[in-house]
Amino acid sequence: MTSPLQFDPSPFDPANAPADALAVNAAILKRLETWDNWAAPIGVTRQLRREGNGPFPPPAVSDRAETIEINGKHGPIGLRIIAPSRPKGVYLHIHGGGWVLGGADQHDMWLERLADRAAMACVSVDYRLAPEAPYPMGPDDCESAALWLVREAKKRFGTDRLVIGGESAGAHLAAVTLLRLRDRHGLTPFRGANLHAGCYDLALTPSVRRWGAEKLVLNTRDIEMFVRHFLVRGGDVKSPDISPIHADLKGLPPALFTVGSRDPLVDDTLFMAARWAASGNAAALEVFPAGCHVFIGFPGSNTDRCLARIDAFMTKACA
């Protein structure tokens, strides 16, 4: 029998906002005052962000990372691997970026941390990005990567204890991948799902619709544009393969849901965690006061606590 999902409303009280989180939010709002993801062609925006010529510094790259290619439905798929010498488990990581931005090499420092602190071999998927490769190509790549890992993990890493997860669009794709493996292949190989600040309803939850123009990492228009690019060739936003909140969620692994209270996508996490638990799965939910969208990408006390929670979740899942 699973434990009941615990919900603590205190993170939504402004009085509980950590001073460092408020300072981070103010700095982000300042940086994004004149930045528009949609002012230039998507390829240009990706390059500016990668070079650190966008609103934030370029991501640090690990010299420990290994890149390999596997075969997929639409051609080769890159996998970026950062692993300790003796992994206790393997984490299939799916990066965020609204299905449009980002890459597997832009999370190296966090994946290094997981490798060192939780003894996880981290495999990050360089899935195809919209609008050049819209739905279902990105999800297809993630499905192929998961199937490869199921086949190869024991031989390559010495363990078949698997966890899946990601941030934002990556959390969405992780949920979709779990459903595809269960429904298309009869597989439930993952012991846990680490789902941070995900978008699970592409019809847009109330918190997204009500957010407005304030650009605390992203705003309502950004999310609408990301969905538009992902579904540029069409797709029903009520389909479970597009909006996994509409799926039958029975038989899925224990999940850790984390999100900030100042995230436009906060309702997605609150609703999905409740549905996950109501479907008979173990689910833990933690909302971090004043946390912005994917706040773990910024320094602060919320980030320290959240990453420690994720470390513990990984360790338990692979015990």
- Look at residue 1 in the predicted model and tell me its pLDDT: 44
CA distance 23 to 30: 11
CA distance 161 to 163: 7
Say if residues 56 and 49 touch (Cβ distance below 8 Å): yes
CA distance 32 to 69: 35
Cα 174–Cα 75–Cα 182 angle in degrees, nearest 5? 30
CA distance 59 to 106: 5
> In sequence order, what are the residues at sequence separation of 6 or more whose Cβ sits closer than 8 angstroms to the Cβ of residue 208?
220, 223, 264, 265, 267, 268
Cβ neighbours of 154 (radius 10 Å): 14
Tokens of 234: 């069409």
Low pLDDT (below 50) residues in the chain: 1
Instruction: Please give the model's pTM, rounded to 2 decimal places.
Output: 0.97
CA distance 194 to 136: 22
- Look at residue 3 in the predicted model and tell me its pLDDT: 64
Average pLDDT, the chain: 97
pLDDT tens digit string along 4-24?
798 999 999 999 999 999 999
Domain 63-317 -> CATH class:
alpha beta
Determine which one of 140, 141, 222, 263 is catalytic.
263
> In sequence order, what are the residues at sequence separation of 6 or more whose Cβ sits closer than 8 angstroms to the Cβ of residue 232?
130, 131, 134
Length of the chain: 319
- Look at residue 149 in the predicted model and tell me its pLDDT: 98
- Look at residue 54 in the predicted model and tell me its pLDDT: 87
Query: Is 10 an active-site residue?
Result: no
DSSP 280: T
Query: Is 168 an active-site residue?
Result: yes
Sign of CA dihedral 54, 37, 91, 82: negative
Give me the torsion for CA of 217, 48, 229, 74, rounded to 10°. Answer: -120
DSSP 112-127: HHHHHHS-EEEEEEE-
- Look at residue 4 in the predicted model and tell me its pLDDT: 79
Query: Is 3 an active-site residue?
Result: no
Determine which one of 124, 144, 168, 243 is catalytic.
168
CA distance 312 to 23: 27
Determine which one of 95, 196, 246, 293 is catalytic.
293
CA distance 54 to 49: 5
